Amino acid sequence: MKHTIGTGLWRRAIPAALAVGLVAGACSANTSTDAGGDTGSTSEDGGTKGPRPPVTLASDGTPKPGGTLRYALEAETTGFKPTSDRWSIVGVMMGLAVYDTMVARYEDGSPAPYLAESFESSDDFKTWTFTMRDGVMFHDGTPLTAEAVANVYNLHLKSPLTGAAITNVESVTATGPLTVVFTMKEPWAAFPGVLTGQLGVIPSPGTLADEQGGLKPVGTGPFQFVSWEPDKEFEASKYDGYWQKDAEGNALPYLDTVIFQPTPENTQRLAGLKSGDFEMIHTTDQATILEMRDLAAQGQIQLVEDQGEAEEGFVMLNTSKPPFDDIRARQAVAYATNNEEYNSIVNYDVNFVANGPFTPDSPWYLEDNGYPEYDPAKAQELVNEIKAEKGEFAFTLRGGGVDTRDNLEFLQQQWEAVGMEVELNTDQQNTFITDAVAGNYEANLWRQFGAPDPDADYLWWTSDNATGGLALNIARNQNPEIDAALDKGRSSTDPAEREAAYDELQRLFSQDLPYIWLDHSVWAIGANNKVRQITNGPLPDGKAAYPVGGLGFPGVTFLTQTWLDQ
């Protein structure tokens, strides 16, 4: 069976790569700085929620080689060894400069061969065979072989960080010079989509063998590593031996140099774009997006907003400890939360309201999923009932950094209005994430679940990962019915069966309430007017690529075919 599995299956379910950077990518929350003035005036249509169509300059004409592109990102990464470093969105963005992924995505979201020349499955989807491209070289002159690829995945299987994402893989074997076979424990129809992000990149054998390899990565990607000064900049230069060519047979990449600069302050990133210090910036900050929309409308910059599946913003409740081991407490928080008002006041209506883990235009979205509607009277009844029985209803709401303060205070005000006692805490993000995975929290403001195919979020939701000192099911919610729905969705290749399974999953989430849904976030890329081909260019087979995202996280793009008109 060839890699074009079945167009019906892929049209109904766009599989996405797992967010395997543990939970570094679950960045605290969607936060806003002060937009100032009348934010509604920035919207010509009076405040349409969600992403807008792109405002870009045409990329037609002959691409001009050369130049340096400076890209400001929201944070730093821990390193570039995919088997041991936690990659958030910024880790993937930088990693894709020096590495190629096994698989990319066609425009419709279906998996496309990339570093792998082809892939095919057995009829039962329990075996996947990948054939690698011949003649590809790592930047250190080592040839890409099936053995090198198999070695990467055997290390992933042993990794305490990334192994949980591929527990369904029984073995990975090189069966020929360029042939790699993945054998599954259970059928896995969506497996190629897993190999589009962190789990898809192939480092050189030397990078994996070197304890310091994550500090000086060697891959097969369009750019080769030059230097990395953490919290300042990561630089990579054009790799002259890169295997890809453009449609006219010209060498890729076009750029001479890419420099990524971690710039946590939202206002600083935007100021750098306006001043010319940065050619591109990346953000989910709503105030920044509003201002960039104005600048793009005036022709001062270009703007691309990810139109695909978004990450969800929500309050994650620890169901394993008081007060949220009591379903009534979780129900009370759900009834007391006005997410429409939250989105308007905190998010300036840039994001759009969530009632579950999928956007309304997702093929998996279930509108009538039973999620509680805002009802402060019901919330107060439950709070009074709990207080009468237990004496108090008190907890701490935490956010990952001071930028979450406005979000936290808004929720605190709503919840205290119905009688809850809510303390606030804004930790540094590393502490915040570590405590979350360890279960040392009560309620966290969180952002996660940006995968269009629910199977990609399996590891975050299964009961198997809900216990122990460190738990990837961070809400620690255990429900055998949820497990059954997840298993059915993973093992079935029938679109109707999968849809029914994930409909049931959403209903069960609305009953268990481990997550109090707030919004669907918007990732935006701002670029100055010299930049061309901001979105992903054509794939190696000449077909159109998924424009933005689909590479492990929303908002991520390759820079392989980006160029500067200068």
Kindly report the three-state secondary structure assignment for every residue of 41-91. Answer: HHCCCCCCCCCCCCECCCCCCCCCCCCEEEEEECCCCCCCCCCCCCCCHHH
State which residues form the domain around 378: 312-520
Q: What is the pLDDT of residues 142-191, one digit of tens each?
A: 999 999 999 999 999 999 888 888 999 999 999 999 999 999 999 898 89
pLDDT at residue number 239: 99
My answer on whether 388 and 505 are in the same domain is yes
Query: Total structural domains in the chain?
Result: 2
Determine the Cα–Cα distance for residues 181 and 221; give it in Å rounded to an integer. 23
Compute the mean pLDDT over every residue in the chain, rounded to the nearest whole number.
89
- Identify whether 182 is part of a domain: yes
Determine the Cα–Cα distance for residues 204 and 217; give it in Å rounded to an integer. 8
CB–CB of 342/410 below 8 Å? yes
**What's the angle, vertex CA 196, arms to CA 195 and CA 202, rounded to 5?**
65
- Identify whether 363 is part of a domain: yes
Q: Is the dihedral of CA 319, 423, 343, 93 positive or negative?
A: negative
Whether 35 has a pLDDT exceeding 90, the answer reads: no
My answer on whether 442 and 317 are in the same domain is yes
Whether 9 has a pLDDT exceeding 80, the answer reads: no
Determine the Cα–Cα distance for residues 100 and 37; give it in Å rounded to an integer. 44
- Identify whether 224 is part of a domain: no
- Identify whether 67 is part of a domain: no
- Identify whether 239 is part of a domain: no
Q: Which residues, including other chains, have CB under 8 Å from residue 549's CB and lie 6 or more apart? A: 306, 308, 309, 450, 523, 555, 556, 557
- Identify whether 335 is part of a domain: yes
Strand ranges (E), 318-403? 352-353, 394-400
Say if strands 179-184 and 223-229 run parallel, antiparallel, or are unpaired: unpaired
My answer on whether 89 and 184 are in the same domain is yes
CB–CB of 321/442 below 8 Å? yes
My answer on whether 475 and 540 are in the same domain is no
Task: Give the CATH number for residue 358.
Answer: 3.10.105.10
My answer on whether 463 and 540 are in the same domain is no
CB–CB of 7/188 below 8 Å? no
Whether 374 has a pLDDT exceeding 70, the answer reads: yes
Q: Which residues, including other chains, have CB under 8 Å from residue 189's CB and lie 6 or more apart? A: 5, 9, 121, 125, 492, 493
CB–CB of 281/295 below 8 Å? no
Task: Give the CATH number for residue 172.
Answer: 3.90.76.10
Q: Which residues, including other chains, have CB under 8 Å from residue 407's CB and lie 6 or more apart? A: 29, 30, 31, 32, 342, 346, 399, 445
Q: Is the dihedral of CA 473, 31, 284, 508 positive or negative?
A: positive
My answer on whether 25 and 164 are in the same domain is yes
Q: What is the pLDDT of residues 243-286, one digit of tens each?
A: 999 999 999 999 999 999 999 899 999 999 999 999 999 998 99
Global pTM? 0.85
Q: What percentage of residues in the chain have a pLDDT greater than 90?
A: 71
3-class SS of residue 254 = coil
My answer on whether 484 and 538 are in the same domain is no
My answer on whether 114 and 207 are in the same domain is yes
CB–CB of 31/407 below 8 Å? yes
- Which residue has 């299964």 as its token pair? 462
**What's the angle, vertex CA 110, arms to CA 564 and CA 170, rounded to 5?**
115
- Identify whether 563 is part of a domain: no
Phi-psi region of 135 (alpha: psi -120 to 50; beta: other; left: phi over 0): left
My answer on whether 436 and 542 are in the same domain is no
Closest CA to 501 of 483, 514, 517: 483
- Identify whether 559 is part of a domain: no
Q: What is the pLDDT of residues 458-489, one digit of tens each?
A: 889 999 999 988 888 999 999 999 999 999 98
pLDDT at residue number 48: 52
**What's the angle, vertex CA 296, arms to CA 46 and CA 238, rounded to 5?**
140
Determine the Cα–Cα distance for residues 231 and 356; give it in Å rounded to an integer. 35
My answer on whether 207 and 93 are in the same domain is yes
3-class SS of residue 506 = helix
My answer on whether 505 and 539 are in the same domain is no
Higher pLDDT, 302 or 546: 302
Q: Which residues pair with 454 in a beta bridge?
A: none
Report, as an integer, the average pLDDT of 377-382. 99
pLDDT-derived band of residue 456, with 50, 70 and 90 as boundaries? confident
First to last CA, the chain: 47
My answer on whether 348 and 462 are in the same domain is yes
Determine the Cα–Cα distance for residues 402 and 429; give it in Å rounded to an integer. 10
Determine the Cα–Cα distance for residues 553 and 549; give it in Å rounded to an integer. 6
Give the CA distances from residue 406 to residues 39, 78, 264, 353, in Å, rounded to whole numbers and listed in that order: 16, 28, 17, 18
